[in-house]
Chains A and B, each alone.
Chain A
Amino acid sequence: MEDRFSHSFTIRGKHFIDAGKVSTEIKRLLKELGVRADIVRRVAIATYEAEMNVVMYAKDATVTLELTPRDIRIVIDDRGPGIADIELAMQEGFSTATSEMRELGFGAGLGLPNIKKNSDDFKIGSTVGAGTKLEITVFIN
Chain B
Amino acid sequence: MKLREVVESLHLSVRSGEDRLDQAVTGGYAGDLLSDVIANSKAGNVWITMQVHVNIVAVAVLKDLAGIIIVQGRQPSEETLKKAKEEKVAIVVSDAPAFETGGRLYTLIDGSS
A-B contact count (CB 8 A): 64
Identify which of residues 35-87 in chain A touch chain B, using a CB-to-CB cut-off of 8 Å.
37, 41, 44-45, 48-49, 52
A84 CB, min distance to chain B CBs, angstroms: 21
Which chain A residue shows the least CB distance to B50? A105
Do B36 and A20 have beta carbons less than 8 Å apart? no
| B63 on interface, CB distance cutoff 8 Å | yes
Do A19 and B55 have beta carbons less than 8 Å apart? yes
Residues of A contacting B59 in the complex (Cβ-Cβ under 8 angstroms)? 20, 48
Which chain B residue shows the least CB distance to A28? B61
Residues of A contacting B61 in the complex (Cβ-Cβ under 8 angstroms)? 20, 24, 27
Chain B interface residue number, banded:
20 to 34
| A122 on interface, CB distance cutoff 8 Å | no
Do A114 and B39 have beta carbons less than 8 Å apart? yes
Identify which of residues 51-73 in chain B touch chain A, using a CB-to-CB cut-off of 8 Å.
51, 53-55, 57-59, 61-63
B72 CB, min distance to chain A CBs, angstroms: 15
Residues of B contacting A44 in the complex (Cβ-Cβ under 8 angstroms)? 62-63
Give bound CA distance, A37 to B63, whole Å: 11
Residues of A contacting B62 in the complex (Cβ-Cβ under 8 angstroms)? 20, 23-24, 27, 44-45, 48
Residues of A contacting B55 in the complex (Cβ-Cβ under 8 angstroms)? 16, 19-20, 52, 104-105
A18 CB, min distance to chain B CBs, angstroms: 9
Do B54 and A110 have beta carbons less than 8 Å apart? no
* A interface, over-half SS: helix
Beyond the given A45-B39, A49-B38, please list 14 additional residue pairs across the A-B interface where CB-CB is below 8 A.
A16-B55, A17-B79, A20-B55, A20-B61, A24-B58, A27-B61, A45-B62, A104-B55, A105-B32, A105-B49, A106-B35, A108-B33, A110-B35, A117-B39
Which residues of B does A touch, CB under 8 Å? 32-36, 38-39, 43, 49, 51, 53-55, 57-59, 61-63, 79, 87
Q: List 19 A-B contacts (CB under 8 A).
A: A17-B79, A20-B57, A23-B58, A24-B61, A24-B62, A41-B43, A44-B62, A44-B63, A45-B39, A45-B62, A52-B55, A104-B53, A105-B32, A105-B34, A105-B51, A105-B55, A106-B35, A108-B34, A108-B35
Give 6 nearest A-B pairs by CB, closest first: A20-B58, A110-B35, A108-B33, A44-B62, A105-B34, A108-B35
